[in-house]
Chain A
């Protein structure tokens, strides 16, 4: 199948190095300490953060740092075929683990010993790149909850189809079976914290694709900062400062 037309356009009309439109909204779950909705094209994810709060299960308490928990789930209506997915299947368990470890790396857990932070992310609409969208949403929600962080984490994916590196794959491109590189970076420190990759790719091409994904992450980071700044301004305004 042709994923990049001779004119250099992708199936959804984007250029190879073009991202989908991103949109973020903060404070979407009233009861949560922090929450956000993050959209990347047709992919839509909602995240809610509770905490830091007392550890529910005392046996899990850690004496010198906060306990971070994460639960990833996909809504039944998120994909084309509506079907009840068993909770805790292998894929979502793995993504939960990945998101938890990524967030744990950026939260200053040592500042909140004997407490617990819960992150819940749910995919409302799935169109490729749910992993990245979840991480971006979780970052926003954590920031909204006012949890001390080293840096924000942003994530973006990139692929390699028709011998062209493509940024931010959608579902059709994702399921084409080509390589799929998901990168999560700490933009200020310029360090890669999350890196997942499938399929076969020579090292030099991989380097290119990873570089492209990192650029995407930086673009996301800029947008997230803007959103956060806007949100803070709004809060200031409401307080009448």
Chain B
């Protein structure tokens, strides 16, 4: 209502008549033919799941985010897809801050219907624990500039954002097998969403009567038109949703003609979106390759920071080998106790947080050191050391000398680390009882490191 009023105020009678009379002879004010779409430009942001679409002067940004939520009771094993619209007053003077207006709600509902009811996004693959945890995918659509035909632009933005979005990989673990572990993107490549088909929205504007039909109306044309119909179709020729909310009456044959036209148009737009997404993906892959060789040094620094900050955070699996070497070097050089300590604890945390089968058993726990509780050591050796030690030593003979030397500093380092790291001490004291208890803390740390739900 509000937007419509604002439009009527803005356009003068002369302007309206000009648009109408021009349309009678199939001329549009921006020089397009009646069934011509404006140019679509799709830009992607620095992160996944962000797309900005320009359709002529219309600009819409789509942002996709995900978090773990409880599913709806009637659909326990389906993820949740929600769409939020934000009509910024910056885009149009008729948009007001505060609660979303009617047009904002309608836009959101149309895009939502196109995506959800036609099952474009595979929601069942978003389920983690049936009835308890699923991924909730949220699409935010921000209107940055209103140049007319917001629905089509918003729909393309939503699709592009969905196609580039990647959710973190997660798995079940923990004591009861019900603990959800979210693997950070550095460790496991995040997964893209499964998009079955692309429902493309195409807006038709009807002027004066049904005889003048125009595709993709601009802002000014929207102020003049008597009715509009939004057809959401995919390239396979299926109709996913239609919205014609009142307005000028149109005969059935015209509707069918419009739908046929929409299906042919949709193929082109689908291709355009796919190409843009592919370009983005290949660029993303390239960046990844470039980044890889130069990151060893940075990573160590990072891990040091993390250990100092006492935030048990994971270190990328592929860098573990490198880190191990560096830490061994520092051990050999008998550098500052604190430094060694922090590095080692960082490593230990790293391994535990990752849950990767890379154990620092032999290095970190020396059964003959004095400062450590012998009971706990026995337990820890039994739990992690013995099994992996043999493997490690067997596989790499090189490591032996490093290890032997590494034990030296660690003897002093160990009690210190327990003093510095409160959480670690807790685990040590806990670990005094049985074999099983010694294993537990590891799981707990695993959970701590990665359950940033």
- Please give the residue numbers on chain A whose beta carbons come within 8 Å of chain B beta carbons, in ascending order: 60, 62, 69, 88, 90-91, 93-94, 96-105, 177, 181, 184-186, 189-203, 206-207, 210-211, 214
Contact = CB atoms under 8 A, between A and B. Distances in A.
Contacts of A99: 246
B106 A97 contact: yes
B260 interface: yes
A105 B242 CA distance: 18
A203 B237 contact: yes
Contacts of B238: 200-203
B245 A101 contact: yes
Interface of B (DSSP majority class): mixed
A174 to B, nearest CB: 12
Interface in B1-46: 1, 5, 8
Given A197-B239, A197-B241, A198-B241, A105 B106 contact: no
A142 to B, nearest CB: 14
Nearest to B116: A198
Nearest to A135: B246
A200 B106 contact: no
Interface stretch (B141-149, B250-258, B274-282): B250-258
B247 interface: yes
Contacts, number: 114
B184 interface: no
B43 to A, nearest CB: 29
Interface of B: 1, 5, 8, 99, 102, 105-106, 108-109, 113, 117-119, 210, 227, 229, 234, 237-252, 255-256, 259-260, 263
Nearest to B107: A94
B210 A202 contact: no
A60 B9 CA distance: 11
Contact of B105 (A90, A184, A191): A90
Contact of A191 (B8, B102, B250): B250
Contacts of B113: 198
A199 B244 contact: no
Given A90-B105, A195-B229, A203-B263, A103 B246 contact: yes
Contacts of B109: 90-91, 94
Q: Which 6 A-B residue pairings sit nearest by Cβ, starting from the closest?
A: A191-B249, A101-B246, A102-B246, A198-B117, A195-B244, A197-B242
Contacts of B229: 195
Given A90-B105, A195-B229, A186 B239 contact: no
A196 B245 contact: yes
B105 A94 contact: yes
A192 B252 contact: yes
A200 B249 contact: no
Given A199-B117, A199-B240, A206-B259, A193 B106 contact: no
Contact of A97 (B210, B245, B250, B251): B245
Nearest to A63: B8
